[in-house]
């Protein structure tokens, strides 16, 4: 075990700077840079998905200007676990890192396909770490502590610096009965508190929820009842990374003599990775392919699908409009949304629920039954963390402004009785928190913001306007305009492709054939898809981009306009 460290700052030592590059002021983009002298380490490299008013954007990652300013000094990237809001930006961050990528084995396995997709081979290596491991990087010594969350292999990070001990919790909740039997290491946090902690950086996601979050096992009773009552197929939509949830459902399926089909790209990939690492156990003979689902009686099948957030191309959205190759729902089937709606996704989720209602399918959400448990600690668990660690300084992380502010108020109340009450620092993305001989304070500003990523690899930009300008300058813009009858779903008139800045040989013929192609594509869609503007815009955008790329090799910005008449 590492030796103790003082709880306050050291006068003669090098200053330590904490620079949040994402996750302080929004949900997602979680990334924290810590610098001392000529060494910088980065904890987590998250991403977030675009909102509806960001056409052509496929992914959002933090602005990396601060890391560029520390070129040659970024010695390590450390991941706390494998959720997208902590690993989605790894392919964009890793080229700035001269040292290894340290992460739990499951997180490394989930990152590997992203690196292969971006053709990244990281010379310094991908190093698996686990609880109680210790790594030294320049003036920093890192220790990893087991925490519980909604997936396996999650750690908090203790960073021993010349100024004192920093504790970064990562995402966590205190699960007293974890699915994998690997308990939250509360004693180690208590030991750190007794030794002395300079600053605690703590997850704020669920600070506005009272009490305790509860164990992942709490959903078992509701799913047992649903498996008993459902006469047909039970279709459960959840995050493909919620491996504890998947394990519960697989175990219950085996108990109730149902086959399990993992449906959707993410669900397939993550379940295979987890099984390979021994983090998901599927009994022999229980798993079947999606193509085998029609071969079994409906009452003998449990489908685990992607699309809990209403994503247009996810499995549940295709199933909801009868557009999936193998799954056709009937009134005897039941759909469960076993996930919390991410703010901003309510409208997309509502569209999917409406389509399922047209099928006559009963939909069960967490408002109906206890089919979802958050992976983040509620207020009492966050108070417990503060009470155990008793830091000199407290920095709330991971949340929007209201969560960070509320967590700050709670910290002041919890620590008010200590001999030396905790001082609260409230940085946002880009604020530099410095610890030196003068104490801890907001010291300066670093460049921070968002970079919008286009999966065509045309480029990345710092805001939507600049991104569109660069995209248009390179390949122009194409606006497919389609009028669709609201009742029948029939195309009214001939679609039109309007272009600006897009040049191609024999453009008139190309656009005319493109319009004809669109008519054929739309007519192949089901009536429900044609009368859903959200799904239709996504289908048109995908097909036009594919058509133009195949015919011209160009990748213009495609902004579909669907008019309902």
Catalytic residues: 203, 376
150: number of Cβ within 10 Å: 27
Pairing assessment for the beta strands 39-43 and 31-36 based on DSSP bridges: antiparallel
Q: What is the DSSP string of 33-81?
A: EEEETTEEEEE----BPPPTT-TT--EEEE--HHHHHTTTTEEEEE-S-
- Of 300, 304, 305, the C-alpha closest to 315 is 305
Do 239 and 216 contact (CB within 8 A), yes or no? no
Q: What is the DSSP string of 115-129?
A: HHHTT---TT-EEE-
C-alpha to C-alpha distance for 433 and 396, rounded to whole angstroms: 12
| Structural tokens at position 257 | 């003599």
| Structural tokens at position 49 | 């998905």
**Residue carrying structure tokens 């220790």:** 143
CA distances from 239 to 71, 311, 398, 510 (A): 36, 12, 19, 41
Sequence-separated (6 or more) residues with CB below 8 Å from residue 469: none
C-alpha to C-alpha distance for 241 and 36, rounded to whole angstroms: 34
C-alpha to C-alpha distance for 191 and 187, rounded to whole angstroms: 6
Do 59 and 25 contact (CB within 8 A), yes or no? no
């Amino acid at each position: 075990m590492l030796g103790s460290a003082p709880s306050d700052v050291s006068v003669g030592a090098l200053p330590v700077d904490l620079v949040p590059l994402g996750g302080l002021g929004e949900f997602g983009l979680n990334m924290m840079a810590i610098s001392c002298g000529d060494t910088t380490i980065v904890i987590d490299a998250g991403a977030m998905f675009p909102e509806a008013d960001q056409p052509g954007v496929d992914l959002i990652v933090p602005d990396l200007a601060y890391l560029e300013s520390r070129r040659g000094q970024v010695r390590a990237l450390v991941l706390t676990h494998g959720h997208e809001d902590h690993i989605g930006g790894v392919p964009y961050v890793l080229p700035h890192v001269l040292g290894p990528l340290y992460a739990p084995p499951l997180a490394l396995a989930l990152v590997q396909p992203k690196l292969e997709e971006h053709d990244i081979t990281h010379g310094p290596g991908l190093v698996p770490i686990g609880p109680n491991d210790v790594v030294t990087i320049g003036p920093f010594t890192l220790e990893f502590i087991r925490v519980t969350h909604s997936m396996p292999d999650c750690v908090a990070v203790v960073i021993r610096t010349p100024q004192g001990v920093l504790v970064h919790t990562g995402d966590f909740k205190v699960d007293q009965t974890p699915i994998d039997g690997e308990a939250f290491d509360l004693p180690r946090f208590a030991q750190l508190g007794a030794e002395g902690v300079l600053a605690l950086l703590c997850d704020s996601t669920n600070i506005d929820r009272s009490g305790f979050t509860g164990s992942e096992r709490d959903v078992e009773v509701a799913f047992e009842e649903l498996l008993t009552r459902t006469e047909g197929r039970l279709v459960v939509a959840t995050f493909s990374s919620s491996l504890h949830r998947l394990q519960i459902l697989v175990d219950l399926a085996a108990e109730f003599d149902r086959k399990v089909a993992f449906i959707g790209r993410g669900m397939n990939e993550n379940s295979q990775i987890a099984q390979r690492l021994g983090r998901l156990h599927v009994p022999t003979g229980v798993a079947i392919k999606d193509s085998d689902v029609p071969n079994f009686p409906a009452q003998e099948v449990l489908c685990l699908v992607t699309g809990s957030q209403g994503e247009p191309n996810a499995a549940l959205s295709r199933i909801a409009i009868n557009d999936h190759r193998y799954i056709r729902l009937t009134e005897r089937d039941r759909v469960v949304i076993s996930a919390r709606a991410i703010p901003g996704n309510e409208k997309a989720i509502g569209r999917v629920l409406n389509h399922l209602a047209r099928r006559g399918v009963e939909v069960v959400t967490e408002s109906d039954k206890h089919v979802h448990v958050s992976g983040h600690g509620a207020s009492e668990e966050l108070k417990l963390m503060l009470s155990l660690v008793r830091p000199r300084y407290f920095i709330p992380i991971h949340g929007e402004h209201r969560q960070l502010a509320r967590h700050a108020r709670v910290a002041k109340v919890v620590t008010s009785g200590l001999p030396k009450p905790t001082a609260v620092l409230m940085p946002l993305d880009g604020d530099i928190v410095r610890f030196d001989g003068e104490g801890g304070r907001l010291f300066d500003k670093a460049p921070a913001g968002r970079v919008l990523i286009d999966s065509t690899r045309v480029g990345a930009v710092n805001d939507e306007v600049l991104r569109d300008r660069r995209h248009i300058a390179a390949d122009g813009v194409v606006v497919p305009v389609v009028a669709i009858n609201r009742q029948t779903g029939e195309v009214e008139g001939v679609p039109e492709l309007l272009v600006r800045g897009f040049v191609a040989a024999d453009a008139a013929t190309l656009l005319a054939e493109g319009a004809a192609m669109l008519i054929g594509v739309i007519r192949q869609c089901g009536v429900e898809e044609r009368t859903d503007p959200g799904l239709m815009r996504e289908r048109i955008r995908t097909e036009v981009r594919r058509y133009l790329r195949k015919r011209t090799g160009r990748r213009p910005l495609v902004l579909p306009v669907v008019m309902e008449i």
